[in-house]
Structure 1
């Protein structure tokens, strides 16, 4: 249930209808409240002065009709501008970035404002009465309609400015980089040496892990798709209840095929379909990767922009360099974070769940491998990659992390010697390579 809520919330944040629907509901409530207040005779005195509407039924209908028609027209223009922006972003920066554009709150608010203002004016028009026996002009409601029209006009100017800014490559990269850091902060909140005091998780013996692989009972997936969320607390509760050890066979971001094992349970037993349904309920599958629990998904968005920029059809190394800078900023933070242990124990100290998670070296591969491969012939990109590795070395404390940084520096250097024809370009890269080596050979400071 919990993972399904995460999945639906992620879908709502990436939709064009959720915030507009909330604004439309607010417009309906405002029309009802304003109409109720208009029926109070004391309101006439409030509206006698100022810029408020004091005309008759015909004037009120004309004003609201003009506003409603204008809002419908502008809403169509805004939708068209949004679709053009999405099309341009998909072709120039990559289709996987559409999720980032669709989650943009200003765009959703602007779309909702015009639809809500249109519906408000329509609802207020329905309350106007023109008969001689009972004439009713909701002057406060009409005044609020005019105010909403003025706000909507300001929103149009703001939206044009926002679109012009948000479609720029550096702005898109900055937004994606900020989302990556937010995901990093959520998944790896503890810094090295500053986490809660306590005994580190005990690593089970290799013999037990082999036994679990050999005799563990597999539980297959009920569907196909990318694993988006895993409810670790539900799996822990299930393992405690059944008095078993559970080892996950996949992690968020992996593609799952129906029937293939999601996890293995030891000791093995014939637990039936109900147990399989409980296990599958703790896993949320979808048609695409999401960054909720999958940091590599956020990394891949920046990598995709960089790889497209390095393609022969676009050939924009400056955009690729901007992506490398943002990746370097994220990896500098990631190098200082504690990696969660895959071994989860219950309150009695009994091993219950083994949940593998990505390590710093694997995430470094995800961030730099494709950029290095596509940019090996580009001097500027290769030099910036080496500069970024040198920067990260100042933050890396774990031996495995530092070894991964040296491995990437060696690969960039080998590629440069094969691709660079100019000796001075090689010398420039060699200078950066020595900086990486010096940073890695420097003694580590105590935390």
Structure 2
């Protein structure tokens, strides 16, 4: 399932796949409409008002006009896409372009325009002046007209879609939804009791294994690692996790065993690691957290200074952390079907995700009292809503950092108000 999830994430990020499938569908539709074996003569004989009833010359002229118009509209759509991607990269960060590319509605509109062009070209090349009135594909030409009209309405929808796509609040909402989906997919609602294993219980260190490939870890197939460890009766300690960048060599997997291991063991362990050139959300919990943080940091930059976007990001980070704390923590010890410890994983924990959420925002907003106050209020609401015992220490550290930042505020009223909100949040965090 880990590999399948990674494949689906990568497929979703390809802008061309859905349009290509729609173009294939357009070719099949054109074949259907032009096939004499299916016979649509009864529609012509019925003399329906909406059905094209001209001769071959008129049909060619109409299809040529439709094709020219569709080429113009498609050029407009492609130009709008490039402009939108440029604006999004400048205002929100280049890594957030993937949220635009992965949008199924945008892919569908682009696919519709390309599919309509494919359809018109196929129908147009089947018509020549030697066709008699009874051999003109009236229904195929009518379908081309209908598809063109649908593209006109789709163009209006596309303009609305791309206009909203570069609004910061829309991007924040989309990234937050993706983060919530990742939390639902990767974390369980039920806490699994795990046996305690002390360091003394573990086998002795045998060797270190490097992955042998540089790049970001996208997914780790822990099931395959368990299978290898069980087969060789060893324990594997993985020191890296999804989202980490690896060099070709290094101490990535520690082999623990009471006996000698085979020399080709690394060749069986390395395929469990899928390495790519960028991070994705397939198994990386920090990915969407850091995307939200990037939006906030862009909004705090000297050229933008948009505190309202930062406040929206802090709200969604609080919502995500609430969901995270309601889930059971990830268990790093992975056992085989016989209950034997086989893999010790390095996983993202709640404390690290809290720090990843607020550290950089707090540091960049040290002169913004409104943002410091909002972070303190968010931490207070978080402590009110869920049991924050797991992250109590790191929440108190965040509040201490906010207090240190507040000491540098220029206006006394801002300092006092910020300290008051921090004290209120600290009271609820300690009570949890």
Alpha-carbon distance, 1:244 to partner: 1.3
1:51-62 → structure 2 map (5 Å cutoff) = 51-62=50-61
1:331 alignment counterpart: 321
Deviation at 1:431, TM superposition (A): 2.0
1:291 is displaced (CA, Å) by 1.2
Q: Within 2, Cα distance between the matches of 1:257 and 1:363?
A: 24
Aligned match of 1:30: 29
Answer whether contact 1:246 1:263 (CA < 8 A) is retained: yes
**Is the 1:220–1:259 Cα contact (8 Å) retained in structure 2?**
yes
Q: CA–CA distance in 2 between the matches of 1:266 and 1:224?
A: 24
Asked whether 1:144 is paired with 2:135, we answer no
Q: TM-score, normalised by structure 2?
A: 0.95
1:281 corresponds to = 271
TM-score (norm 1): 0.92
Shift of 1:314: 1.5
Partner-residue secondary structure (3-state), 1:335? helix
Instruction: Tell me, yes or no, if the aligned pair for 2:325 and 2:350 is still in contact at 8 Å.
Output: yes
Paired position in structure 1 for 2:304 = 314
Residue pair 1:3, 1:282 contacting (<8 A) in 2 also: no
Asked if the contact 1:56–1:137 (Cα under 8 Å) also holds between the matched residues in 2, the reply is yes
Structure 1 residue runs of 5 or longer lacking an equivalent are none
Q: Distance in 2 between matches of 1:114 and 1:390?
A: 50
Residue 407 of structure 1 is matched in structure 2 by: 397
Q: Deviations over 1:264-294 (max 9, x none)?
A: 2221635234x32331211111111111111
Give per-residue Cα distances to partners, 1:323-370, cap 9 Å, x unaligned: 111111111111111112101111211111111211111000001000
**Counterpart Cα distance in 2 of 1:144 and 1:166:** 31
* TM-superposed deviation, 1:310: 0.9
Equivalence for 1:202: 195
Q: How far apart, in 2, do the equivalents of 1:242 and 1:93 lie?
A: 49
Q: Is the 8 A contact 1:57 1:130 kept in 2?
A: yes
Q: Show the counterpart of 2:102.
A: 103
User: How far apart are 1:261 and its partner, in Å?
Assistant: 3.2
Which SS does the other structure have where 2:225 is aligned?
helix
Q: CA deviation at 1:27?
A: 0.2
Using the alignment, how far apart are the partners of 1:39 and 1:65 within structure 2? Answer: 26
Q: Which runs of 5+ in 2 are unaligned?
A: none
Cα distance in 2 for partners of 1:119, 1:137 equals: 19
CA distance in 1, matches of 2:241, 2:420: 39
**Kept in 2: contact 1:218–1:264 (CA 8 A):** yes
Aligned residue for 2:217, secondary structure, equals strand
Q: Does 1:272 align with 2:272?
A: no
Residues 55 and 132 in structure 2, CA contact (< 8 A), matched pair in contact too: no
SS in 2 for 1:339: coil
Q: Could you tell me whether the CA contact under 8 Å between 1:72 and 1:118 is conserved in 2?
A: yes
* CA deviation after TM superposition for structure 1 residue 65, in Å: 1.2
Which segments of structure 1 move beyond 3 Å, counting only runs of 4 or more? 2-8, 41-47, 132-135
How far apart are the structure 2 equivalents of 1:41 and 1:168? 48
SS at match of 1:203: coil
Structure 2 contact 2–282 (Cα < 8 Å) conserved: no
Shift of 1:255: 0.5
Aligned length: 431
1:67-82 correspondence runs (5 A): 67-82=66-81
Post-superposition shift, 1:30? 0.5
In structure 2, the CA distance between the partners of 1:38 and 1:58, relative to structure 1 (3 Å rule), is farther
- Please say if 1:390 is aligned against 2:380: yes
Residue aligning to 1:437: 426
Deviation of residue 131 (structure 1)? 2.0
Matched, 1:358 2:314: no
Deviates more, 1:39-48 or 1:355-364: 39-48
